[in-house]
A and B are shown apart, each in its own frame.
Chain A
């Protein structure tokens, strides 16, 4: 029973927060709603018995989105004084989101321990005797090894592309020359002097 309650909770929250992502005027709020949407999607994955993907969603997406959030803040020139001014006013809304998240975490835990939703119309057979991670690992390094390696090349191309589009040689930059540093001996760099009393130092 609890799985069904959890499903409706997560599903409606995903849709509601996804709608808020595009409706929110403030881009920072949009990102917040996006995080909530990811959390709920992770809950849905948990219900479907894909706990590994659920964890990935939380770790990768929510983690990556935190970085994205930083970029948004840095690039959009948002006036933080103005944002902070409304802190008390927005506190109830923030607290509401936080409470929803907390409740959902509890419900998800309870639903997961009660077993996953029985998907009767599922075409692919579900394997029950092994954990998610084990199954994905077995497929990734055997059946789909070619795709796995090709995905690596895709990432390489993305990296080359980012460098091609942004890297440029600047003139007048002092770069570190490690071999020159290592060749430098103490006698080249230091001088021992024995100044007389009251005569001072000349450099």
Chain B
């Protein structure tokens, strides 16, 4: 037991750091933004360092309830990095209203997501998921005097509770029919004959997880919540929890349901196709940039699920690479949205206001163009690479129709991404003035770095990425 503690340093650091941040906020007051922000950032950096130090270990701790392996490590690094950026961008957004609870809740959410990504037991899965979700509900309605924010929080909470209920029902069925909550034990039972109870369990668990990754038909909450939540929180929702839920789903279907591939593969294929198509079609005609990015995230989740549907190590490698590129692109896109403020300093979220942005803020428009092209998967940009990987995995797993459907839908999706670029570069200036206010240097640096990485430099990282994602994916097989 004591030896196990040495293997969960990331979780311990996050817990202690979260408590310290909470105490700093309580005793120093909410005005000392610098201090508690620094403590939360240091906590995340230390936790990430601990993950790196533990990289390569493949074992389970606490009687097999939690795993310590490079798959979880990969996901955790992504989660911590995304949380890090979301804490950096917050103080400028919450002018005068940033409270110490924001970084604290992000830290605890990151802890929950880390637990999700490394769960090896249905109960660990649920505890991690609830830890993340509870923090997320509160974060969504963090601006409690803002009507849209509270509405987003309430909607997220009600639908999230429903999804948790479905997930728990599935878990109880799986437990009832296999006699264990341990992934290995469940896989052993699923290797035998499947009865109706087990199939129902699989369906309900996947439905609950589908809600968390916002796959169609469990996506209804996504546009509303993304639109209503404060933009830094939306940035957080679109990145870190997606990684955690996707890693969790991968672990569940490969680790726990691996032998029953016939039962879950068709569900994943359906979720994937529905998400890709609805994500692409739903985004057309959106007038709010945050809603558009919500549909874009639904669309991208669909592409990730193509890799998962293959059910092979190659597919999982594709999913991991996709997650990395998706997180970088989405962070960049939301950071650009954060820079859009009118002369009075109010946030601009409407898409028509972007018209003619290239003349006012050429740098910002160029970065946005890179992110949009990358999300669309247009070849010279790095966003193309993970899409290629998941399609290749699907073709190798004899899922050619799925890959073809995915490619067709990505063309539909490209329409609205390119429509935004057209609006920024070729349309007349909108009436909304977007003054070239100097953003915070850190934010500009993050935007520049992610845009550069996505445009050319990313391709230099392919060999490294391939090795890392292969070693992470190999753990599950």
Contact = CB atoms under 8 A, between A and B. Distances in A.
Interface of A: 122-124, 142-147, 150-151, 153-154, 156-158, 160-161, 163-165
Interface range, B side: 35 or more
B358 interface: no
Residues of B contacting A: mostly: helix
Given A146-B62, A150-B115, A164 B138 contact: yes
B137 interface: yes
Contact of A151 (B61, B108, B127, B176): B127
B108 A156 contact: yes
A144 B61 CA distance: 11
Nearest to A143: B63
B99 A154 contact: no
A180 B153 CA distance: 42
Interface stretch (B50-58, B128-136, B201-209, B228-236): B128-136
A131 to B, nearest CB: 22
A139 to B, nearest CB: 9
Contacts of B178: 123
Given A144-B63, A157-B131, 17 more contacts: A123-B176, A123-B178, A144-B62, A144-B65, A146-B65, A146-B66, A147-B121, A147-B124, A150-B115, A150-B127, A160-B101, A160-B108, A161-B135, A161-B138, A163-B101, A164-B99, A165-B138
B104 interface: yes
Given A123-B179, A124-B179, A147-B124, A157 B65 contact: no
Interface in B407-444: none
15 contacts: A123-B177, A124-B180, A142-B63, A146-B8, A147-B123, A147-B127, A150-B127, A154-B127, A154-B131, A154-B134, A157-B134, A160-B138, A161-B105, A161-B135, A165-B138
Contact of A153 (B61, B108, B121): B108
Interface in B43-83: 61-63, 65-66
Nearest to A162: B138
Given A124-B180, A147-B65, A165-B141, A157 B127 contact: no
Contacts of A123: 176-180
A101 B301 CA distance: 51
Contacts of B179: 122-124
B131 A144 contact: no
A147 B177 CA distance: 22
A146 B123 CA distance: 11
Contacts of A164: 99, 101, 105, 138, 142, 144
Interface of B: 1, 8, 15, 22, 61-63, 65-66, 99, 101, 104-105, 108, 111-112, 115, 121, 123-124, 127-128, 130-131, 134-135, 137-138, 141-142, 144, 153, 176-180
A153 B131 contact: yes
* Best-buried of A157, A161, A165 by chain B (most CB within 10 Å): A157
B135 A157 contact: yes
Given A123-B179, A146-B65, A147-B65, A160 B22 contact: yes
A156 B98 CA distance: 20
Nearest to A161: B138
B103 to A, nearest CB: 12
Contacts of A156: 108
B123 A144 contact: yes
A143 B121 CA distance: 12
A153 B63 contact: no
Nearest to B115: A150
Contact of A145 (B1, B112, B135): B1
Nearest to B128: A150
Nearest to B131: A154
A154 B136 CA distance: 12
A153 B138 contact: no
A164 B121 CA distance: 32
A18 B18 CA distance: 41
Contacts of B101: 160, 163-164
Contacts of B141: 165
B19 to A, nearest CB: 8
B296 to A, nearest CB: 29
Nearest to B126: A147
A160 B63 contact: no
Nearest to A139: B63
A146 B22 CA distance: 22
Contacts of A122: 179
A165 B140 CA distance: 11
B228 to A, nearest CB: 15
A160 B130 contact: no
Given A150-B128, A157-B134, A160-B105, A143 B142 contact: no
Contacts of A153: 15, 108, 111-112, 131
Nearest to A151: B127
Contacts of A146: 8, 61-62, 65-66, 124
Contacts of A145: 1, 62
Contacts of B131: 150, 153-154, 157
A88 to B, nearest CB: 40
